[in-house]
Structure 1
Amino acid sequence: MNTIIDTNFDFPNQTSLYKGKVREVYNINNEQLVMIATDRLSAFDVVMPKGIPYKGQILNQIATKMMKATEDLVPNWLVATPDPNVAIGHLCKPFKVEMVIRGYMSGHAAREYKLGKRMLCGVPMPEGMKENDKFPEPIITPATKAEMGDHDEDISREDILKRGIVSEQDYRVLEDYTRKLFQRGSEIAASRGLILVDTKYEFGKTNDGQIVLIDEIHTPDSSRYFYAEGYQERQDRGEAQKQLSKEFVRQWLIANGFQGHEGQTVPEMSDDYIESVSERYIELYENITGDTFVKADLSNIQERIEANVLEFFK
């Protein structure tokens, strides 16, 4: 199936192009950004060799919907979405931290806990917890942002301030926005029969100094969801939770001997497996948004994107 793995457009007044793990960002006249969500799949901070059909569209459309559902709480960078894979917004200078917030002891936190650690990013984790138990209060466990292919690293609030990565005044705003967004995201998830387990937010400053939410929000790439129905019963029986995130990809990679460590090779993904991942992403979209997914035309994605972006800038 046709996927979009790489772009190399030359838009009017384009000044630069940045390629992240999944998104490609075109700077227009140092005022606006054209962000293209590709179909690249990243896990363990490694980009997989094959793309996933519709993945970029799914991430872009979930993020757009969630930005609109939270803009009364936290200002964001978004101006328009002229194409299923494209978001256009204000140029921002990103903060070099990802604001990770965890309501439950899952994923990375659970892996650290199993190793005997009771402190994550300078935040204590209570004794006697089981994997996927709810924390008494959500905890913020920031990570330093990595360039493509490098691992993001855990960092404490104290280190962020001590190293001058973010000023104390700005960091207070980031923490406040993170908690508000997570609260709203949890309410939206609950209305869909889901639990928002953990997620990450990224922020930047506009040219006039306003702190705004950027990048994606509440997508299956940036967030972990559980199905609410049966959650407690599964916890009581010590069973794995029914997840709605890309954790299923990570688990498949682990089962096939890959966790992003040096010397490991990414396992071959068959066409059938790629299609099954695409179907899971569509399921994620419909569960998270409550909308039926409408597949975009894949016959020539590059031409479609270019035409829609040029039409917007007319």
Structure 2
Amino acid sequence: MATKTAATITDTNFNFPNQKSVYKGKVREVYNINDELLVMIASDRLSAFDVVMPKGIPFKGQILNQIATQMMAATVDIVPNWLIATPDPNVAIGHLCEPFKVEMVIRGYMSGHAAREYKAGKRMLCGVAMPEGMKENDKFPTPIITPATKAEMGDHDEDISREDIISKNIVSQADYEVLEQYTKALFERGTELAAQRGLILVDTKYEFGKTKDGKIVLIDEIHTPDSSRYFYADGYQERQEKGEAQKQLSKEFVRQWLISNNFQGLEGQTVPEMSDEYIESVSERYIELYENITGQSFEKANTTDIMTRIETNVVEWMKNN
């Protein structure tokens, strides 16, 4: 399937050497190789309000994969991660891990979901108190961790408190304390990296897994525009004082477009039609996000025959490793 400019990956069906199974998430497809390695393919699917949109976004998978792998390299000194290699622009290969069934969401500012809950009159989010008298996009006195249970494809992630995670034995207390510690350290590093690019890391989510030898590692994406919200630092304070919307780098622009077209993933709602022009504009925004977040020019991979390219690169890597 394609737009005017480039083909997209909306589904894969590879059969790699020693492949045992495949898991298809909202955006990524994960191939288990001999119960030792995972081959993670970042598709061009677009998910918003926990619903996968009907059309892919050109280069989105490449952008997410390349930001995530660069950010893992930039944080490996503080938190171990699953990554071994990136043999293709859309592919990451790493150690097989058993994922924890929670997403560690951390918020430095009251934005997005937190702001919507706050406006609805709630002052507790995932068992964490939010101070009175805050405005949307104000900075929290200290970042708050507001975990979510990980949903299967198409289901909504749900807020959950630290106490419930531990009491329901979703994660043991000892492991959860490590997840919290890692989450805070990653957010601190992410904040520093963003500041170097003139950005504010507003909120983000991290996912963790356990390797076969019991080591807790960071998995999946990190500090991407799909998993994180960024503001431009320049003019932030002025906009807050004037009560203006913040200039931001995230896929919030997609959510806002969907809301304006009467879609929030609620029962009975229909995903609005996305024209080729709109798809193209989303692709351009993702490229802008990549260049702002990484400080590098984006180089479009060859999309003439994406599937063959991916398969060739992965199989070649396997032969040599």
Partner of 2:277: 272
Where does 1:1-314 land on structure 2 (aligned, <5 Å)? Answer: 1-314=6-319
Distance between the aligned counterparts of 1:68 and 1:147, measured in 2? 28
Report how far residue 205 of structure 1 moved: 0.2
Report the Cα distance in structure 2 between the residues aligned to 1:34 and 1:217, rounded to whole angstroms. Answer: 17
How far apart in 1 are the matches of 2:192 and 2:119? 29
**Which runs of at least 4 in structure 1 moved beyond 3 Å after TM superposition?**
none
Find the aligned partners of 1:163 and 1:240 in 2 and give their Cα distance.
39
Equivalent position SS for 1:267:
coil
Instruction: Give secondary structure in 1 for the equivalent of 2:65.
Output: helix
Paired with 2:305 and 2:201, the residues of 1 have a C-alpha distance of 35
Q: After TM superposition, give the deviation of residue 78 of structure 1 in Å.
A: 0.1
Q: Residue 15 of structure 2 aligns to a residue in which SS? A: coil
Q: CA deviation at 1:280?
A: 0.1
- d(CA) in 2 for partners of 1:266, 1:29: 38
Deviations 1:155-174 (A, max 9, x none): 00000001000000000000
Task: Give distance in 2, aligned partners of 1:47 and 1:4.
Answer: 13
Secondary structure, counterpart of 1:176 in structure 2: helix
Superposition deviation, residue 126 in structure 1: 0.1
State the number of aligned residues. 314
1:27-84 CA-partner distances (Å, limit 9, x unpaired) = 0000000000000000000000000000000000000000000000000000000000
Q: CA deviation at 1:283?
A: 0.1
- The amino acid across from 1:32 in the alignment is L
Report the alpha carbon displacement of residue 242 of structure 1 after superposing the two structures with TM: 0.2
Q: How far does the alpha carbon of each residue in 1:107-155 deviate from its partner, in whole angstroms, 9 at most, with x for none?
A: 0000000000000000000000000000000000000000000000000
Q: Report the 3-state secondary structure (helix = DSSP H, G, I; strand = E; otherwise coil) of the residue aligned with 2:74.
A: helix
Supply the distance in 2 between the matched residues of 1:187 and 1:211 (Cα, whole angstroms): 24
Cα distance in 2 for residues equivalent to 1:95 and 1:39: 25
Amino acid at match of 2:55: K
Q: Matches of 1:20 and 1:117 in 2, distance apart?
A: 31
TM-score (norm 1): 1.00
Render the CA deviation track for 1:4-23: whole Å, top value 9, x for unaligned.
10000000000000000000
2:166 and 2:24 map into 1 onto residues whose CA distance is 28
Over aligned residue pairs, what C-alpha RMSD do you find?
0.3
Structure 2's unaligned 5+ residue stretches are 1-5
TM-score (norm. length: structure 2) = 0.98
Alpha-carbon offset, residue 243 of structure 1: 0.6
